[in-house]
Amino acid sequence: MKPKRLTWLLVAACVALLAGLLASWLVPYWRERGAITEFERMGVPVFDHSDLIYTPVGIHIETGGPEWLREIVGDDWMRPFGRVRGVWLFFNSPENPLGSPPSAAPPLFDLLVRLRNIDQLVILEGQLSESELAKLRARCPEMDVEVYPRPPPAAAPTEDDPP
């Protein structure tokens, strides 16, 4: 084999290796951002994790990157590198401002598996099956899962009820 051809083969192999490594690092971020975008389309608010006490329903993200870099470029530019800390979803519940998810929305489980390393998941009973919860727990063993019972439907007003 000629030395020139060998050099080009080595360069091509290095470029392919770097592209593969870069893709394996970026694909999880890309999948997570896509899931967060779908949640936003469904009306789920996305909050900075420091607002956790004041905003219980939504996706809570801890801003990524070092503090000095966030000061230079801003939190919005560093948001894709943030870490989802908690997902609190209460669709179809009286204390939920979200209402029902749109009928065209992907299943909740399909969106949740695209999120990396969730610390806390809070949902209502029946939003995920037991097998789906088991798969999520296997994927994120440190995840704290809270499943609240679904509240009873509100009773229809009767004629005897005061206005």
Q: What is the pLDDT of residues 71-92, one digit of tens each?
A: 888 877 777 777 888 888 766 5
| Average pLDDT of the residues of the chain | 76
Residue 157 has pLDDT above 70, yes or no: no
Residue 134 has pLDDT above 60, yes or no: yes
Q: Which residues of 85-120 are buried (b: 16+ CB within 10 A; e: fewer)?
A: bbbbbbbebeebebeebeeebeebbebbbbbeebbb
Give the separation between CA 111 and CA 108, rounded to whole angstroms: 5
Q: Which residue has the higher pLDDT, 150 or 4?
A: 4
- The verdict on pTM exceeding 0.85 is no
* Cα dihedral 53/146/65/76 (nearest 10): -60
